[in-house]
Structure 1
Amino acid sequence: MSDLERDILNRLSTLLNHPWEVRDGRVVPDSKTVYDKQAVKLDATYLYADMAGSTELAQSIDAEVAARVMRVYLDMAVRVIRYNEGDIRSFDGDRVMGIFVGWDKESRAAKAALGIEYWRGFLDYLLPTRLAEVKAIGWELKHGVGIDTGEALLVRAGIRGNDDLISIGRAPNIAAKLSGLREGYSLYATDDAYYGMDTETSYEDDEYNQPRWTWLGERDFGGRKVTVYGSNYGWEC
């Protein structure tokens, strides 16, 4: 048996057999506050912002220019999420995850999504004026943002020095799936997230009180049917 095989099998036995020390969380933890055998139960709203067309972009222009575009989008999304009191806990290529907790978590997540859509439109206009390569290929900055809310379990994954927190539960999973939808809308939210929003984030502030979100019906994610709302509204927030 090789050293690697022995190491993996020993660790497998440890991870599968040890009991979790589960505690309720009121704030979003980081990897420094969650130990190897601990799990934090969190009632939270998850937001995933996913830049679309990054593969096409990377194959069409110089990698350094494509990297600038991706970095600008992610930097903007992070700033909007933090401005609305969300915590950043994960990056995955051209996608970022924000976590919101508190009594108004759905409203702040929705406000962040509307803000990201507003600034995406601004960047889509600005980037071709600053980057000739982007203008030359006629590329447009598009994205998908998904929101779901509910209970999740946060645990550490990996090994010391190469570990991070992962979120397990319906809310983070569905939010990630929603960010990948491309059905004519930029923003998607489950009915649980939608009904948790305040009127400021779910309706326009005008005399007609028009909804910002459109009911899209049910979608199937891994055998589970979820009612989804979509939006293309941008809000400078």
Structure 2
Amino acid sequence: MAVYVGDYKNTKAAKSALMINWANKQVIQPALDAQYSGTQFQINHTVGIDTSKLLVAKTGVRGANDLVWVGRAANWAAKLTTLSHDTPTWITKAVYDKLNDEAKFTNGNNMWRHHLWTSMKNSDIYSSSWWWSVS
């Protein structure tokens, strides 16, 4: 889990997810194919992004503490990761509405496709199979 704060946090999160997709397609999968040329194993991933206020609490027993995130963004982002890896980046409408154009469009083409999330009361969500090159 990653948490983004500050200005342009939604754009930064979306670009990071698109960079993960690039790394999977351009670095990880080719390295796997080169190492294990006799297999057809395919690396798949799904990233979910939502935005909301979050509460973080340090819980556990002494020496075995962990951070627990409470809020819609943590919950919905986790649920988005269960959706199809055919379009590996999923965002909520709240994120989409706050994206800068650089993270929405490439050469005038929208990188995001609208869906209704039926299991979440037909909430508006968006998916993308585009990637963002890591420079």
Compute the TM-score of the two structures, normalised by the length of structure 2.
Answer: 0.92
Q: Which residue of 2 aligns with 1:234?
A: 131
1:120 counterpart = 2:120: no
Listed as ranges, the gaps of 5+ residues in structure 2 are: none
2:10 to 106, 119, 133: 106
Compute the TM-score of the two structures, normalised by the length of structure 1.
Answer: 0.54
Identity of aligned residues (%): 29
Letter in 2 for 1:124: Q
1:211 to 100, 106, 110: 110
- What are the within-5 Å matches in structure 2 for residues 113-152 of structure 1? 113-122=17-26, 123-129=28-34, 131-132=35-36, 135-152=37-54
CA distance in 1, matches of 2:18, 2:118: 22
1:173 counterpart = 2:75: yes
Q: Which has the higher helix share?
A: 1
User: 1:30-65: per-residue Cα shift (whole Å, max 9, x none)?
Assistant: xxxxxxxxxxxxxxxxxxxxxxxxxxxxxxxxxxxx
Q: Which has the higher strand share?
A: 1
The answer on whether the counterparts of 1:219 and 1:228 sit within 8 Å (CA) in structure 2 is: no
CA distance in 1, matches of 2:52, 2:62: 29
The answer on whether the counterparts of 2:44 and 2:85 sit within 8 Å (CA) in structure 1 is: no
Q: Which residue of 2 aligns with 1:199?
A: 101
Deviation for aligned residue 1:164: 1.1
Listed as ranges, the gaps of 5+ residues in structure 1 are: 1-96
Letter in 2 for 1:167: W
User: 1:90-115: per-residue Cα shift (whole Å, max 9, x none)?
Assistant: xxxxxxx1100012100000110111
CA distance in 1, matches of 2:59, 2:130: 36
Deviation for aligned residue 1:180: 1.6
**Once superposed, what is the RMSD of the aligned Cα atoms?**
1.4
**Equivalenced residues, count:** 133
CA distance in 2, matches of 1:226, 1:125: 36
CA distance in 1, matches of 2:130, 2:78: 20
Q: Which residue of 1 aligns with 2:62?
A: 160
User: 1:84-135: per-residue Cα shift (whole Å, max 9, x none)?
Assistant: xxxxxxxxxxxxx110001210000011011111111011122110x22xx3
User: 1:60-85: per-residue Cα shift (whole Å, max 9, x none)?
Assistant: xxxxxxxxxxxxxxxxxxxxxxxxxx
Letter in 2 for 1:236: S
Q: Which has the larger radius of gyration?
A: 1
Q: Which residue of 2 aligns with 1:48?
A: none
Q: Which residue of 2 aligns with 1:29?
A: none
